[in-house]
Structure 1
């Protein structure tokens, strides 16, 4: 029995693998109807993404942080409104995601291949933390993994108020988040 314990201890690091963000981009998409423009998607992006994750079997631990003060869309007025009112980035400058589970990856993790995945974890926006499920894919290429994930939810899930300004006739009650990450094995 003692021999099995040593085998487990020796192979445990092989089973658990850690990755860190080498580069990334986070986006939000919200459908809005503008006066004189019509229906369009408001899209804001930032490359201010950092974090790391450890995967072992289907379990995940770690943390990803997005600096919300760096979000930019095609309109500075929208960006200022979002920072000052909806996200209140002076008080809550970041969004944090703590993964708990990754579904769809083989164990042990491969060196190559593309896999559809679901990532389950806790997302914190402002003072609200809620479980979300991201859908997407992970492509393994040697020491790196390209990840594209999407999730969506209504504003009220995180106690956010839908924007209401004169030039915007309506804003759909759906926030779509997307992340594209290049993760490097540590």
Structure 2
């Protein structure tokens, strides 16, 4: 069958144009899809960053100590007795004689007593002390790489509270109450990091406080006096968010005076044990799993 060259050229030209249009449309569609995907990814990244770096929840109130639970003394009731009425005695001559005496207030003014001396006696018995937030600090320390540079991160807060008792007559009977730290007030030297810690890692909007509930004090000395520095161990339950783990703090305490106690307690915990995940941020890498937790405190009598 004879095909005209004109028809053949027309057919080939039409086919070539159709194929070219097909690939052009396909290329444009692919570019459009890639652009849409890129926009969606960008919006997602911005949304995640905005969520992580949103303003964190503020502390509900200045922190206050949970009162130390101490045994309540039972007071024995005295039996009731009937009042006894004594017969009135006849006044004697001496009793009926009227004499003039100075009023009790005047007697007190006229009396001369020596001023009490400061004997410097050691405290005895049980005394309850309360942590002074303004002079105390709870902190954590860990290491990371920030923009490729090794960095030590330290987070601190003075919003720490708790009570404890010291039995100066028998130190083994001393007690430590629940220690609280307001996680919403922890701060490092980087505001973006602070927001990530509070919003994403510690989730302080739902879990405002980190608590330590002691279960045992070991290594206490047989005697303690003003000026002594003692070291001992404090075992208890440390709760971060909704995870509780048993830990043991190493404590060093100095009896500075009968009315002032200073000390430092520290323990190393693992982030993984509390499921504390670090948000994926391009500038941060190699955050250590080990975290040093410390409480440096001053306490005074309650």
TM-score normalised by length of structure 2:
0.53
Correspondence 1:185 to 2:301: yes
Offset of residue 15 of structure 1: 5.1
- Aligned equivalent of 2:158, options 36, 43, 47: 47
Q: List per-residue Cα deviations over 1:85-116 (Å, max 9, x = no partner).
A: 11000000110112222233324542221112
Alignment RMSD (CA, Å)? 2.0
Partner of 1:156: 272
**What SS does the aligned partner of 2:178 have?**
strand
Q: List per-residue Cα deviations over 1:98-157 (Å, max 9, x = no partner).
A: 222223332454222111222111111111111111113111112221111111111122
Select the structure that is richer in helix: 2
Correspondence 1:79 to 2:190: no
- Higher mean alpha-carbon deviation, 96-105 vs 112-121, is at 96-105
User: Structure 2: which 5+ runs fail to align?
Assistant: 1-74, 76-123
1:98-117 aligned at under 5 Å gives the runs 98-117=213-232
Offset of residue 164 of structure 1: 3.1
User: Structure 1: which 5+ runs fail to align?
Assistant: 1-8
Residues 58 and 101 in structure 1, CA contact (< 8 A), matched pair in contact too: no
Q: How many Å separate the matches in 2 of 1:130 and 1:73?
A: 24
Select the structure that is richer in strand: 1
Offset of residue 55 of structure 1: 4.7
- Aligned equivalent of 2:146, options 15, 18, 34: 34
Partner of 2:129: 19
Runs of 4 or more consecutive aligned structure 1 residues displaced over 6 Å after TM superposition: none
Q: How many Å separate the matches in 1 of 2:192 and 2:132?
A: 31
Residues 51 and 63 in structure 1, CA contact (< 8 A), matched pair in contact too: yes
Residues 164 and 174 in structure 2, CA contact (< 8 A), matched pair in contact too: no
Q: How many Å separate the matches in 1 of 2:228 and 2:216?
A: 20
Partner of 1:124: 239
Q: How many Å separate the matches in 2 of 1:85 and 1:107?
A: 46
Offset of residue 159 of structure 1: 2.4
Tell me how many residue pairs correspond in the alignment: 173
Higher-Rg member (1/2): 2
